[in-house]
């Protein structure tokens, strides 16, 4: 089988992703053309889109504000604001615990990674406290005199 030359990056159909999201400007252009009297096949052919995409975009236009994408539903959250507060309070009080101990003591039915995401949402990172030597009164006076 002979080798093919690489295609250049341009408006070539081969370089476009099939599942890309339309920009608000593109959606506005579709709506304008459809209101001007063109049908979905004509608009799709001129803009390089599938006719079904054009028709669905026009049909969904009334549901969108400023032609921006609607939020995706996603999976329901396994925790609520009450769980978040309880986790935050516990973590702030127990900074020296390891993750396994934290998960045992919290008694939650979601994963360690979920707890880490909750903390990240509130800009809290969990780390082990560094062990430092005890500061005796003699060392404290030495440090004070040094400073």
Model pTM score: 0.47
123 Rama sector, left if φ>0, alpha if ψ -120 to 50, beta otherwise: left
The per-residue pLDDT for range 67-117, each reduced to its tens digit, is: 888 888 888 888 999 999 999 999 999 888 888 999 999 999 989 999 999
What are the extents of the domains in the chain? 21-63, 81-121
Q: How confident is the model at residue 10 (pLDDT cuts 50, 70, 90)?
A: low
End-to-end CA distance of the chain: 78
Question: Of all helices (H) and strands (E), which one includes residue 123?
Answer: none
Q: What does the block give as tokens for 85?
A: 């507060």
- Name the residue among 16, 18, 26 with its Cα closest to residue 64: 26
Q: For tokens 């339309």, name the residue.
A: 22
**In angstroms, rounded to a whole number, what is the distance separating the alpha carbons of residues 100 and 135?**
30
Residue-level length of the chain:
147
Q: How confident is the model at residue 131 (pLDDT cuts 50, 70, 90)?
A: confident
Say what the pLDDT of residue 11 is.
55
């Amino acid at each position: 089988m002979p080798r093919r030359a690489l295609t250049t990056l341009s408006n070539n159909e081969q370089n476009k992703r099939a599942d890309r999201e339309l920009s608000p400007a593109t959606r506005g252009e579709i709506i304008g053309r459809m209101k001007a009297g063109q049908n979905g096949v004509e608009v799709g052919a001129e803009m390089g889109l599938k006719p079904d995409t054009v028709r669905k975009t026009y049909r969904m236009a009334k549901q969108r504000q400023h032609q921006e994408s609607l939020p995706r539903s996603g999976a329901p959250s396994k925790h609520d604001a009450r769980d978040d507060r309880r986790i935050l309070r516990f973590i702030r009080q127990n900074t020296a615990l390891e993750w396994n101990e934290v998960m045992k003591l919290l008694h939650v039915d979601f994963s360690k990674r979920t707890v880490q995401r909750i903390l990240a949402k509130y800009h809290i990172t969990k780390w082990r406290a560094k062990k430092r030597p005890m500061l005796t009164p003699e060392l404290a006076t030495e440090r004070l005199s040094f400073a």
